[in-house]
């Protein structure tokens, strides 16, 4: 034990990239060799917010990184364990001087994990250096000048460094070290619809967006089918850190011209608001379990497991809602408006608590980002107090954004052969219409599980009255004072 070499560790989490990574930059500045580590934590694998699609995306990202690290005769030590257990095992081979990572704005489970790890480091005389993550600041009491600071960070030079083989733990050494670990099998099956993880794939999406696909960005952003092509599709690569926000921001600016300033300007603004919501969650971590506006803690909704089951399975009888859910489950992606529609339908039309939707949605979103997830759930559920009450009308949105029912036909194929008006509203078919189309409502496709019109009125009446309550208004002042910014319905899910 006395002869153990003193090394530094780069603990990778949601920063799965080699470029513009401050943790790597700082680790390489030292005269000590560096070991790259990723821990597939059993506690997170079993956490209900995550699903296999997330772990596969991470595995693909690590494989991509290892391809590049092989040039330096090293790789990422990838183990399945708990973090402290992994570091204890690692110390059998090396004396760890400093651990470098980024500040993670994550779930309560990762917050508690980090708190325990900080105690572990103190007890084992290990330095732990956590770096800023994408301009999100820890410990803020309010948001005065926050956007200016964020813009300054995004405009600053990216972190640059040159990895050298002699700075890293060698591949040959890994053969010995890995004997003490349960190393993670990084193989994944190819999925026909999920985006593949990794920085190289991320740049392919970025290049095609900035060179060509952005041209219809503003026209198609709300269209459930067309947005799949015209939007950047960078959100999973940002969520898991295959690209830094700064890399994407600066790339967008480099491509921005007088001709495309509207579309790329709108895209850049969504990068800002993405950071805004994560900063908000960083400062209001209780949003994971309870509404940010404490006045809404008194709002009680009855639980209907049958409603929730129909919503999760895409069998509510509302075609655009069902198509959106089925598409999300199958592909891991949905544009912002359709995500909002799903949450609005669940919380308003079905009158279910937003907390009951969080696990299912986070498991489906390939780009699950806690700092986006919880603020947006509450905003669409109209439980912030500072935002407008917006109850999406499924039929209106269907007619406006999928007029030819292209999206609905693809994801609810049982409706595809019906006349167009009935695809949008199949429940309008008379018995004669059903007979003529060889279609039986309730068998070929479910009848609406609720009366949409009366459900919307009930939700609207209750929520508009709640906005006037004294306790809600008092909380509004607290929220606005702390965050200084008025939320907008914009975020990076494109």
pLDDT tens string 64-77? 999 999 999 999 99
List the chain domain ranges. Answer: 5-133, 200-280, 287-483
Structure tokens at 448: 């609406």
| Fold for the domain defined by 5-133 | Rossmann fold (3.40.50)
- Residue 8: pLDDT above 80? yes
CA pair distance 277, 292, nearest whole angstrom: 12
SS3 406: helix
Long-range pairs for 377-380: beta carbons < 8 A, 24 or more residues apart: 377/343, 378/287, 378/291, 378/292, 378/354, 379/487, 379/489, 380/339, 380/340, 380/343, 380/344, 380/347, 380/354
- Residue 2: pLDDT above 60? no
Q: DSSP 3-state helix, strand, coil percentages of the chain (rounded to 5)?
A: 55, 10, 35
Strand arrangement, sheet containing 5-11: 76-81, 34-41, 5-11, 94-102, 127-131
CA pair distance 10, 13, nearest whole angstrom: 10
Residues 6+ apart with CB under 8 A from 388: 382
**Domain boundaries 287-483, corresponding CATH code:** 1.10.579.10
| Alpha helix (H) residue ranges in 212-365 | 217-220, 227-230, 235-239, 245-255, 261-283, 305-313, 319-331, 336-344, 358-364
Q: Which of 74-83, 132-141, 191-200, 209-218 has the lowest mean pLDDT?
A: 132-141
pLDDT category at 94 given cuts 50, 70, 90 is very high
pLDDT category at 493 given cuts 50, 70, 90 is very low
The per-residue pLDDT for range 346-404, each reduced to its tens digit, is 999 999 999 999 999 999 999 999 999 999 999 999 999 888 899 999 999 999 999 99
**Helices 394-401 and 319-331, packing angle to 10 deg:** 70
- Residue 485: pLDDT above 70? no
- Residue 488: pLDDT above 50? no
Residues 6+ apart with CB under 8 A from 418: 426, 429, 437, 439
Task: Give the residue-averaged pLDDT of 267-286.
Answer: 92
CA pair distance 31, 7, nearest whole angstrom: 9
Q: Tell the burial category of 477 from Cβ atoms under 10 Å away from its Cβ (0-12, 13-18, 19+).
A: exposed
Nearest to 370 by CA among 98, 111, 33: 111
pLDDT at 3: 83
For 135, left (φ over 0), alpha (ψ -120 to 50), or beta?
left
List strand residue ranges (DSSP E) for 137-184, in order: none
Compute the mean pLDDT over every residue in the chain, rounded to the nearest whole number: 95
pLDDT at 210: 97
The per-residue pLDDT for range 397-455, each reduced to its tens digit, is 999 999 999 999 999 999 999 999 999 999 999 999 999 999 999 999 999 999 999 99
- Residue 486: pLDDT above 70? no
* Residue 475: count of CB within 10 angstroms of its CB: 21
Task: Give the residue-averaged pLDDT of 74-87.
Answer: 98
Task: Give the residue-averaged pLDDT of 288-298.
Answer: 94
Task: Give the residue-averaged pLDDT of 74-96.
Answer: 97
Where b means 16+ CB within 10 Å and e means fewer, 48-81 reads ebbbebbbbbbbbbbbbbbebbeebebbbbbbbb
SS3 124: coil
**Domain boundaries 200-280, corresponding CATH code:** 1.25.40.80
pLDDT at 483: 83
Residues 6+ apart with CB under 8 A from 305: none
Do residues 308 and 343 make contact, with C-beta atoms less than 8 angstroms apart? no
**In whole angstroms, how far apart are CA 93 and each of 9, 70, 170, 423?**
13, 22, 13, 64
Beta pairing partners, 445: 441
SS3 385: coil
């Amino acid at each position: 034990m006395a002869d153990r070499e003193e090394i530094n560790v780069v603990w990778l989490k949601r920063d799965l990239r080699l470029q513009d990574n401050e943790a790597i930059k700082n680790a390489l500045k030292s005269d000590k060799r560096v070991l790259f580590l990723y821990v597939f934590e059993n506690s997170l694998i079993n956490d209900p917010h995550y699903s296999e699609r997330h772990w596969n995306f991470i595995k693909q990202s690590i494989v991509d990184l290892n391809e590049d690290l092989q040039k330096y005769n090293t790789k990422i030590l990838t183990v399945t364990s708990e973090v402290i257990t992994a570091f204890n095992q690692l110390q059998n081979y090396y004396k760890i001087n400093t651990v470098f990572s980024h500040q993670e704005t994550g779930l309560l489970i990762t917050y508690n994990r980090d708190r325990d790890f900080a105690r572990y480091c103190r007890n084992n005389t290990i330095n732990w250096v956590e770096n800023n993550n994408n301009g999100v600041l820890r410990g803020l009491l309010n948001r005065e000048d926050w956007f200016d600071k964020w813009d300054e960070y995004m405009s600053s030079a990216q972190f640059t460094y040159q990895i050298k083989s002699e700075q890293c733990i060698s591949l040959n050494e890994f053969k010995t070290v890995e004997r003490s670990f349960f190393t993670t099998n990084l193989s994944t099956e190819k999925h026909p619809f999920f985006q593949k993880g990794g920085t190289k794939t991320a740049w392919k999406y970025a290049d095609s967006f900035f060179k060509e696909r952005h041209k219809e960005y503003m026209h198609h952003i709300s269209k459930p089918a067309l947005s799949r092509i015209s939007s950047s599709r960078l959100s999973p690569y940002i969520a898991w850190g295959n690209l830094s926000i700064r890399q994407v921001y600066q790339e967008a600016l480099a491509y921005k011209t007088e001709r495309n300033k509207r579309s790329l300007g709108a895209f850049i603004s969504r990068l800002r608001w993405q950071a805004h919501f994560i900063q908000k969650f960083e400062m209001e971590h209780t949003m994971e379990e309870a509404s940010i506006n404490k006045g809404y803690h008194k709002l009680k909704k009855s639980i209907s497991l049958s409603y929730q089951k129909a919503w999760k399975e895409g069998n509510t009888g509302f075609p655009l809602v069902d198509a959106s859910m089925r598409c999300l489950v199958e592909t891991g992606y949905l544009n912002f408006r359709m995500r909002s529609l799903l949450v609005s339908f669940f919380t308003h039309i079905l009158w279910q608590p937003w907390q009951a939707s969080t696990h299912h949605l986070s498991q489906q979103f390939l780009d699950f980002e806690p700092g986006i997830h919880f603020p947006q759930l509450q905003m669409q559920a109209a439980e912030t107090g500072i935002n407008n009450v917006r109850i999406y009308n499924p039929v209106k949105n269907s007619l406006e954004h999928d007029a030819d029912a292209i999206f609905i036909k693809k994801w609810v194929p049982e409706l595809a052969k019906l006349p167009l008006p009935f695809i949008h509203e199949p429940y309008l078919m008379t018995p004669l219409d059903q007979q003529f189309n060889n279609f039986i409502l309730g068998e070929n496709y479910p009848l609406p599980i609720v009366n949409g019109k009366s459900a919307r009125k009930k939700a609207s009446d209750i929520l508009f009255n709640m906005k006037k309550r004294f306790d809600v208004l008092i909380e509004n002042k607290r929220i606005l004072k702390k965050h200084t910014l008025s939320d907008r319905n914009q975020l990076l899910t494109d």
